[in-house]
A and B are shown apart, each in its own frame.
Chain A
């Protein structure tokens, strides 16, 4: 893979790609600042823009938005005690007290630098582990890849939401929706004689409907209820930052002091990211708790400790590259945002999986270099441009919500220049909102939808090789072991649930 380094470098440092990375970091940070909008929602809203990009450019653009969004969530968490993303709650625990002590810039810069350290660390780990995992993946046949896909979904089901059964049902719903349209085995399925369904449900429509629509509706309802009139009042901390141009104590010479915590957080984030399901919030919680457990200042945690900001921030940014490892190497996305990234690749005719590393040319290596460039851009944007992002935290929901809904409708329209896709988006979005109301997370549905074709293709191949004998196809030792593991995870998730006594 290393022989692809030079062509990949040329691809990554193309001026258009550099511009897209910087733009993506800006857009992602701005989205991350808005409460309720995390990486998944930012990617869902900006997915239509990738229709007009080359594959490598599209992936780098989306990665930079994702990285920016994960960082952006910490800005309102520190300044106005309103986390932009759920992972930023852990940053808020010490970031906000530090800001209230009159050192908001220091808190933001620790968050920025440690996020970049986590991102760079996980990018380096990504290149070694992903190519290694891809080598393992290449030894797998269709039976094993089918079992890996199923195992990925069960792990996601086991982690997402409070009721695993609902997450498992969500996965199967996604798998079912993925079968709508033309079948590679002949004929059409579940089209109800509607021509617009022959090509299936477009991924972009699914992503916007399930990941962005519930959040947009919540924002709209918050606007109606005036529950979040101004996303928090202007605080002393924010005013300090806006007024003060002076550095309040954190410089590059201080980086070594937070480096151990940032590296520990980065390792935790990378490991958690590689697991399908948990995502950046779990990574941030784990990193904070571990840091507290080992720190000599553990009694001061919650009052504005440097390491307590560095560890969770580093871990939640490290999730980005960590989650790319199984996604690119095995085709198993671990988070909604990574599922969208895989969707971008699929929409460009690129199949994620082990062959991406052997037959995909410099793309995989370009993604790695792009990740490093993303983090460099994040450092520069965060270090020098922070004051420009502060006003975004004060955009009221009542102004933002109608615009977000408009963007969703126009984005769905842009896919095929047709109202049909918009109607499909509205129907599926309404369904997603209802599911959300009844406690079904949209994430398993999207993961099932993205992985459905990959799982079906591998199952089909396995059956053809074994002349239609399902038992023979799944009796390969590795495939059988993975399926047994999947069954154990399902059973453990089901039986470990302990309802509270009424």
Chain B
């Protein structure tokens, strides 16, 4: 990433945080008023937090602007644009795919049960990464067993189960 692009990126980020701080500050106007005179109301601490956020964002914005105008570059953002990282094209598509599959996993877990959901999720993700059907199936089954034995049997976590308690329970 070029120095100019990085500086512009930082400008946008600081600007967004300054906007966020301003917006939340306006929201605090609707917070309950202090119960008694001299008591801090519910708005006091959030205002302090967003006040500081606004201050730091503005300072960062000004410095980034100065940096852009004087031709100085910001320090490189680490670990973002390496091959396969989130900043690369392949990394971004991988992240989007992971997010979509994760959302589907969460969406179906209460309808189809924990075992099929975990199996499908782990098998699919392993298949995408390895392109090996056998490894994917083993990964899916092992994950289901570990989650079931540790969380359901070991820690007594209530989970929407489809069939395992009928065959594997004590």
Query: Which A residues have a C-beta under 8 Å from some C-beta of B?
Result: 48-49, 51-52, 162-163, 165-166, 168-169, 172-173, 175-176, 179, 183, 185-187, 189-190, 217-218, 220-227, 397-399, 401-403, 405-407, 409-410, 413-414, 417, 419, 422-423, 426, 430, 433, 436-439, 452, 455-456, 459-460, 463-464, 467-468, 494, 497, 499-502
Which residue on chain B has the smallest CB distance to residue A225?
B84
Report if B112 contacts A (CB, 8 A).
no
Pick from A189, A227, A403, A410: contact of B84, CB below 8 A.
A227
Closest B residue to A423 by CB, please name it: B106
Cα distance, A139 to B48, chains bound together (Å): 26
B41 cross-chain contacts in A, Cβ below 8 A: 185-186
Residues of A within 8 A of B126 (CB): 398-399, 402
- Find out whether the CB atom of B38 lies under 8 angstroms from the CB atom of A186: no
List the interface of chain B (C-beta within 8 A of A): 3-4, 9-10, 13-14, 17, 24, 27-28, 31-32, 34-35, 37-46, 48-50, 52-53, 56-57, 59-60, 63, 67, 71-75, 77-80, 83-87, 90-91, 94-95, 97-99, 102-103, 105-106, 109-110, 114, 118, 121-122, 125-126, 128-130, 135, 139, 142-143, 146-147, 151, 155-159
Task: Name the prevailing secondary structure of the B interface residues.
Answer: helix
What are 20 contact pairs spanning A and B, CB under 8 A?
A49-B155, A163-B75, A183-B32, A187-B31, A224-B84, A224-B94, A226-B129, A402-B122, A402-B139, A407-B147, A409-B106, A414-B159, A426-B102, A452-B45, A452-B49, A459-B44, A468-B40, A497-B63, A501-B71, A502-B73
How far, in angstroms, from A240 to B79 measured CA to CA in the complex? 34
The closest CB in chain A to the CB of B98 belongs to A220
Contact A169 B151 (CB under 8 A): no
Nearest CB of B to A448, in Å: 8
CB of B73 within 8 A of CB of A499, answer yes
The 8 closest A-B pairs by CB, nearest first: A225-B84, A187-B32, A398-B129, A402-B125, A172-B53, A468-B38, A467-B38, A183-B42
Q: Which of A187, A399, A436, A502 contacts B135 (CB 8 A)?
A: A399
Could you tell me if B38 and A464 are in contact, using CB atoms closer than 8 angstroms? yes
Chain A residue with the shortest CB-CB distance to B2:
A502
Contacts of A186 on B, CB cut-off 8 Å? 32, 35, 41-42
What residues of chain A lie closer than 8 Å to B57, measured between beta carbons? 169
A183-B42, A413-B159 known; A502 vs B106 contact (CB < 8 Å): no
Contact assessment for B40 and A185 in the assembled complex, using a CB-CB cutoff below 8 Å: yes
The minimal Cβ–Cβ distance linking A27 to chain B, given in whole angstroms, is 11
User: What residues of chain A lie closer than 8 Å to B24, measured between beta carbons?
Assistant: 176, 190
Q: Of the candidates A51, A165, A407, which one forms a contact with B56 in the assembled complex, judged by CB atoms under 8 Å apart? A: A165
